């Protein structure tokens, strides 16, 4: 079966000049990502700021052209498609519902925009479909006539979800969809997304720094570090038995609401990852609490979903 | 005598009541967390204690005392002698709270010389020692750097070191790790807990994150719609939450191991009420399953050690 989305050796490099006379430096934001995701599955992508999550999201959405590699949605290469065709296949929901909705358009018109851009439907049909989708995400027809500024953060995120789903795309890409929301609102949005995924059978990429949320929603999880997936495994396995030392550190630093446990010692030191200066060998070795000599010279092989020397037999 | 005692604090901005009944007591050597969602008044409460409210804000309280010293009648001059000295504060955004035009060293030294006098050289030595203490490598080098040359985690460490320059007795930290990655958050919170234990500080920590609360707090106060609605020791609050809002909030969290992945999360229906002039009674009643006519009147905090502002706790 053709996977819903396939990513082959994807890379994106930027040339950044430092200062007026500075030498241009190469930032390897995404550095060789591979992925296959079956129809209807939800993949969580986790990692710290600067690991390349957002660049990866932009590549998958076709908002950036890759330096190398390819993204295939339902067997079609994104690079070979025009914007309209791409929009029918994949749609985003972004973090900030305050800046991702046009403040000067009514909610119903915000949701109608993708249908208008596709063409081929009458005004009445477009309105009917937009209102139906808004209803589906819990926004009443009365609220649909308001402007985004008149809605709460949670309601705006519902509108953003309606806009993403109104074209019935194959893939929904959520980039930190609940990070700007309060926990009570976050729960509502996560429940809504779960319901929509079930009903519409939509394949979802869920980018988040919140591991508790990812564990709750994802079937599979990719852990990203300096532009690569250092571990990629079914969610159950990854959370029960993380293999890569970085995954273990990330999981250890999650503060679950259980009193009496204190704050764990993550043991990562303060060497910050820098995508313009990726260490030789294993890119995680300067922060790795269990690194051995080989880690600083040789790139680790991929063993059972994780890239780590310690996992080689 | 408590280190910080705030009784029945009210803050108004024009027609809006931002805080309408906050009671917070911080003892020496304890971490008191104030938790709540955006707009609940938790940051305004901390700013009111420090006398840092924006112009036009009206503040009144039955009592507000630091180490027995009444803060209410103090003028700006007297307050600024206390701030940065016996009471220190750390904010969420280390980028905006450090001055981009001065080196780390000169900002830190100023805090010392301004309150304690002494030479700049001595102050810089102390700054270097404290930077080392908060886990910054090559502290001597960092003194000469500007804030933009540091990562977010390092900047927050600088803020903490700066707050410790004059051996404060009370440290108020407003969302100190919200802008940071989870790995860095764990490091910073561990550091704060360590320093607090070593120095015997009273720490008032403001956060929206119940995970942070569970792991670092001695006592917790939950705020909703401008009021402290529940106060208890951390173990007691998580094991036996009394206020319906606290219970609702705990149900919203995806807790690995307790809730199967993909299952429905608890939610709190409805929205926070507008706190306009004349709003009385429980702010949660429009969203509460147990609301009754008595909720429309002013409700006191019931209880002796585990306090709850709910008619059901009467």
Contact A255 B211 (CB under 8 A): yes
Does the residue B156 lie in any domain? no
- Assess contact for A183 and B246: CB atoms under 8 A: no
Assigned domain for B90 exists: no
The answer to whether position B115 is within a domain reads no
What integer pLDDT is reported at residue A18 of this predicted model? 65
Chunked in runs of 10, what are the mean pLDDT values of chain A (313 residues)? 91 81 83 94 92 92 93 91 93 88 94 94 96 95 93 92 96 92 90 93 93 93 96 95 94 90 83 84 92 93 91 82
Which tens digits make up the pLDDT trace of A119-134?
999 999 999 999 999 9
pLDDT in tens, A176-231: 999 888 888 899 999 999 999 999 999 999 999 889 999 999 999 999 999 999 99
Closest CA to B245 of B206, B289, B304, B303: B289
B188 belongs to a structural domain: no
pLDDT at res. B184: 84
pLDDT (0 to 100) of residue A19: 65
**CA distance readout (Å), B283 to A186, A260, B41:** 21, 31, 12
Report how far residue A206's alpha carbon sits from residue A96's, in angstroms, rounded to the nearest whole number: 15
- Where is B163: in which H helix or E strand? helix B152-163
B57 forms bridges with which residues in the sheet?
B13
CATH number at residue B219: 3.40.50.300
Quote the pLDDT of residue A96. Answer: 82
Beta-bridge partner residues of B224: B227
A248 touches chain B (CB under 8 A): no
Which domain does B307 fall in, by range? 1-75+207-284+298-314
Q: Is residue B216 part of a domain?
A: yes
Cβ distance of A184 and B249 shorter than 8 Å: yes
Question: Any CB–CB contact under 8 A between A194 and chain B?
Answer: yes
**Residue B15, domain member (yes or no):** yes
DSSP class of residue B302 equals B
pLDDT at A313: 72
CA B311 to chain centre: 27
Whether the complex's predicted ipTM is more than 0.90 is answered with no
The answer to the question of residue B199 being in a domain is: no
Query: Quick check: B208 contacting A, CB < 8 Å?
Result: yes
- Residues of chain B scoring pLDDT < 50: none
In chain A, the domains with their CATH numbers are 5-311 (3.40.50.300)
- What is the structure's pLDDT at A203? 96
Is B31 within 8 Å of chain A by CB?
Answer: no
């Amino acid at each position: 079966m053709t996977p819903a989305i396939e990513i082959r050796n994807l890379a994106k490099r930027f040339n950044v000049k430092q200062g007026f006379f500075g030498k241009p430096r190469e930032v390897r934001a995404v550095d060789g990502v591979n992925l296959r995701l079956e129809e209807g599955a939800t993949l969580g992508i986790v990692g710290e700021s600067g690991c390349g999550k957002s660049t990866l999201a932009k590549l998958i959405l076709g908002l950036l052209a890759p330096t190398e590699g390819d993204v295939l949605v339902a067997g079609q290469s994104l690079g070979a498609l025009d914007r309209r065709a791409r929009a029918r296949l994949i749609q985003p929901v972004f973090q900030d519902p305050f800046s991702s909705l046009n403040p000067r358009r009514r909610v119903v018109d915000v949701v109608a925009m993708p249908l208008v851009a596709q063409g081929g439907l009458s005004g009445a049909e477009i309105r009917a479909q937009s209102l139906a989708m808004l209803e589906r995400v819990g926004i009443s027809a009365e609220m649909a006539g308001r402007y985004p500024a008149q809605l709460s953060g949670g309601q705006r995120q519902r509108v953003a979800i309606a806009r993403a789903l109104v074209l019935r795309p194959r893939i929904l890409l959520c980039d930190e969809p609940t990070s700007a929301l309060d926990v009570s609102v976050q729960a509502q949005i996560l429940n809504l997304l779960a319901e929509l995924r079930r009903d519409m059978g939509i394949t979802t990429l869920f980018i988040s720094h919140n591991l508790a949320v990812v564990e709750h929603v994802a079937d599979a999880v990719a852990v990203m570090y300096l532009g690569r997936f250092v571990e990629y495994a079914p969610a159950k396995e990854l959370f029960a038995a993380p293999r890569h030392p970085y995954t273990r550190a990330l999981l250890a630093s999650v503060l679950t609401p259980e009193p009496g446990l204190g704050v764990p010692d993550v043991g990562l030191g303060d060497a910050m990852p820098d995508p313009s200066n990726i260490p030789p060998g294993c890119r995680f070795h300067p922060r790795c609490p269990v690194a051995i000599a080989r880690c600083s010279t040789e790139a680790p092989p991929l063993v059972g979903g994780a890239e780590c020397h310690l996992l080689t037999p | 005598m408590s280190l910080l005692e705030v009784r029945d604090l009210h803050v108004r901005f024009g027609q809006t009541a931002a805080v309408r009944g906050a009671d917070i007591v911080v003892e020496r050597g304890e971490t008191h967390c104030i938790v709540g969602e955006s707009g609940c008044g938790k940051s305004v409460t901390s700013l009111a204690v420090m006398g840092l409210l924006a112009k036009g804000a009206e503040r009144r309280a039955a009592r507000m005392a630091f180490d027995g010293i009444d803060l209410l009648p103090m003028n700006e001059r007297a307050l600024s002698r206390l701030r940065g000295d016996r009471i220190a504060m750390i904010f969420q955004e280390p980028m905006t709270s450090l001055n981009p035009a001065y080196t780390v060293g000169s900002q830190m030294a100023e805090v010392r010389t301004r309150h304690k006098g002494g030479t700049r050289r001595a102050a810089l030595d102390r700054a270097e020692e404290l930077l080392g203490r908060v886990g910054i490598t090559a502290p001597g080098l960092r003194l000469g750097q500007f804030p933009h040359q540091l990562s977010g985690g390092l900047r927050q460490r600088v803020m903490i070191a700066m707050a410790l320059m004059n051996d404060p007795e009370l440290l108020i930290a407003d969302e100190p790790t919200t802008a940071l990655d989870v790995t860095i958050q764990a490091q910073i919170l561990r550091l704060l807990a360590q320093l607090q234990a070593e120095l015997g500080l009273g720490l008032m920590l403001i956060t929206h994150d119940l995970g942070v609360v569970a792991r670092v707090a001695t006592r917790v106060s939950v705020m909703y719609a401008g009021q402290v609605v529940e106060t208890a020791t951390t173990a007691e609050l998580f094991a036996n939450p009394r206020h319906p809002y606290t219970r609702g909030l705990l149900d919203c969290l995806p807790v690995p191991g307790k809730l199967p992945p993909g299952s429905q999360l608890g939610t709190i229906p409805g929205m926070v009420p507008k706190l306009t002039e004349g709003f009385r009674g429980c702010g949660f009643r429009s969203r509460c399953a147990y609301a009754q006519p008595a909720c429309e009147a002013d409700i006191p905090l019931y209880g002796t050690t585990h306090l709850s502002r709910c008619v059901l706790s009467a």
